[in-house]
Amino acid sequence: MGETPSRLDEPVSRAGKWPGPSAAAPGLHTAAVVADRFDRMAWRDTYDQSAGLRELAAELNERYDCSTDLLTDTFVAAYKVGPRLRERAEMDPSRLVNHQVVTSLLESPQFTELRRETAGDPYAAAMAVLAQAAALRRMLEHSRGAQEQAERAKRARQEADGAATAVSEALQQAADGADGDGAVQQAIEAAGAAEATARQAARDAARALAAVAPAIGAAARTAAAKAAGAAREEAALMRAWGVGPGELERMPFDQRARLAERLRTGRLAQWAELIGRFRQMAGGERARKVENATGELVGVTLGDDLSRVIPSELAGLGVPELRAVFAARYAAGELMLYDSQGEQSTGQGAVIACVDTSHSMYEAGPGGVTREAWAKACALALLDQARHAGRDFVGILFSAADKLQVFRFPAGGPAGIDRVLEFAETFLGGGTSYQRPLSAACELLEEEFNDAARRRGDIVMLTDDDCGVTEEWMRGWMDAKHRLGFRVFGVAIGAPRVADPDSVLDALCDNLRSIEDLTDVHAAADLFRVI
């Protein structure tokens, strides 16, 4: 005997074909870029430290609900070493515009170039977000219609999920005897209509997004290119001023932001490229320098140094009859040898750069480079030179007799960038006096000799003017020079007459050269081979 069909069998059969809400939308995401907890922590910490990010988020959130998620995605895409996008099907419909924006960024060659500067660096990634702010605004504005369609699609999907849940509830009520077949049928019809509406809304949203995708892509490429340019410029500034990646990583966000702004807007910011070229040239000269090398060939002399014997003398060894002659000339020190001018470093004491900052140093030469900028760039390269050799460095800025400022950079401690910038940016103005800065340099070398028994310091005088000194002062200067064994190098910047043989500067210096082309950093290259 067969079982009697229940009155709910048919509604249950129809409802059983209906998908529940869990099947319709499982675990959708609002973040387009996959991020782990460390990425999220980096974003939160950076966001908390950056007033610019917070202000941008507040501004965008007034008009676009998805803005904070978009900024997070843009940051993580720039910060992660290997960013990975979620599939569109995994995304909350209301965040599909964000997904399109980030997809366009990651697919652009310009963003790949940007990530060379930002990957693993939260500060640089934040700066990249801020550099793209204007383009992000445009992309959000262009996609406003697509975003509205996406929001409708999300609401339609939520209503469809609710209708699917209502089918289950109607079946349960029917099973409990509270309602009959009519309630179940009504719920199924409502769910079908809601599902159809949701699917249509999703198709409309997809079409709207596809329509704005080209504009988003173009804006993304422009944004990434601008951000990459800004990142390269800032990285070049840091390198020019000698700020290494390790120092930047240890620097708090606000301090690093202030430093970048100072470097961009400081008095010598426009000469950062010159400073960088000076440092690069000096580094190259250090690499070329060989201690105790014979240096540049300047002629032929007589002697017994077999390492410098000229080829014609060596040829005599190949003739048995001439070997005795060679031996006799060797014993007498009369072999013909290459003569050379040595270029070996003998300095042990401090390196002291005396930089003229009188009014005339503000004058620009060829290429628009000021005499001050050339002198400061040379002095900063000398600072690097001293630190590389483990020597103290002192920068003395001078002008008139009553104007002097001393910046000390001991070899045993870090050369703080704030102090370096203060040295580079300080300009005293006024006339020119040699006696006071050179006396100050002498006192420092005397102090170093008394404290550490170090002699043979190096003084580099960078000036564009010639001025007199008293006979009494000159006698004291020569006595100190003999006692302490220091060398004096003079650089006449943009003023050839200062380097004349009868000038005061020539009398003060062991080595003097004139610089006329202020765009040429190699004119001072020999300084970095002998200091």
Same domain, 318 and 226: no
Amino acid identity of 138?
A: R
pLDDT the model gives residue 44: 95
Dist. CA 259–CA 265, nearest whole Å: 10
Same domain, 304 and 370: no
Any domain includes 290: no
Dist. CA 351–CA 456, nearest whole Å: 10
Dist. CA 270–CA 373, nearest whole Å: 9
Residue with tokens 């170090």: 454
pLDDT the model gives residue 339: 66
pLDDT the model gives residue 368: 82
Evaluate whether 465 touches 356 at the Cβ level (below 8 Å): yes
Same domain, 440 and 397: yes
Same domain, 158 and 179: yes
pLDDT the model gives residue 23: 43
pLDDT the model gives residue 347: 57
Q: Which of 213, 240, 267 is the last residue of a domain?
A: 240
DSSP characters over 362-421 = G-B-GGG-BHHHHHHHHHHHHHHHHHHTT--EEEEEE-STT-EEEEEE-TTS---HHHHH
Question: Which among 16, 11, 20 has a CA at the least distance from the CA of 179?
Answer: 11
pLDDT the model gives residue 24: 41
Same domain, 77 and 168: yes
- Where helices occur in 241-370 by DSSP H, the ranges are 245-250, 253-265, 272-288, 311-315, 320-332
296: β partners: 341
Same domain, 71 and 203: yes
User: Which domain range does residue 401 map to?
Assistant: 351-530
Same domain, 337 and 362: no
Give mean pLDDT in consecutive 10-residue pieces for the chain, a chain of 531 residues.
48 52 61 94 94 93 88 95 91 88 92 92 94 89 80 81 78 66 75 80 81 86 91 87 83 89 80 87 75 53 77 75 79 74 61 95 84 93 91 94 94 84 91 94 89 81 91 93 90 82 87 87 86 84
Task: Compute φ and ψ for 369, nearest 5 degrees.
Answer: -80, 130
Task: Compute φ and ψ for 87, nearest 5 degrees.
Answer: -70, 150
- Where helices occur in 132-271 by DSSP H, the ranges are 133-142, 144-175, 181-240, 245-250, 253-265
Same domain, 385 and 428: yes
The tally of domains found in the chain comes to 3
Any domain includes 273: no
Residues for the chain: how many in total?
531
Same domain, 321 and 397: no
The CB density around residue 240, as the number of other CB atoms within 10 Å, is 23
Distance linking the first and last C-alpha atoms of the chain? 113
- The set of residues, in sequence order, having a beta carbon less than 8 Å from that of 492 and lying 6+ positions away, is 463, 464, 498, 499, 505, 512, 513, 514, 515
Q: Which of 321, 341, 361 is the last residue of a domain?
A: 341
Q: Which of 288, 320, 341 is the last residue of a domain?
A: 341
Amino acid identity of 62?
A: E
Residue with tokens 């980096």: 42
Residue 503 has which token pair? 């000038």
Same domain, 470 and 449: yes
Dist. CA 393–CA 381, nearest whole Å: 11
Dist. CA 375–CA 360, nearest whole Å: 13
Instruction: Describe the crossing of helices 181-240 and 253-265 by its angle, rounded to 10 degrees.
Output: 50
Q: For 435-438, which contacts have Cβ atoms below 8 Å and span 24 or more sequence positions?
A: 435/401, 435/469, 435/470, 435/473, 436/398, 436/401, 436/404, 437/354, 437/396, 437/398, 437/404, 437/461, 438/354, 438/477, 438/508
Evaluate whether 362 touches 271 at the Cβ level (below 8 Å): no
Any domain includes 213: yes
Same domain, 16 and 165: yes
Residue 384 has which token pair? 């690097």
Any domain includes 269: no
pLDDT the model gives residue 2: 45
Any domain includes 261: no
Any domain includes 245: no
Any domain includes 72: yes
Same domain, 25 and 93: yes
pLDDT the model gives residue 181: 63
Amino acid identity of 46?
A: T
Evaluate whether 506 touches 484 at the Cβ level (below 8 Å): no
Amino acid identity of 252?
A: P
Q: Residue 206 to residues 64, 228, 251, 292: CA-CA distances in angstroms?
A: 19, 31, 45, 75
Residue with tokens 């760039």: 377
Q: For 49-52, which contacts have Cβ atoms below 8 Å and span 24 or more sequence positions?
A: 49/252, 49/253, 49/254, 50/126, 50/130, 50/253, 50/257, 52/126, 52/130
Any domain includes 310: yes
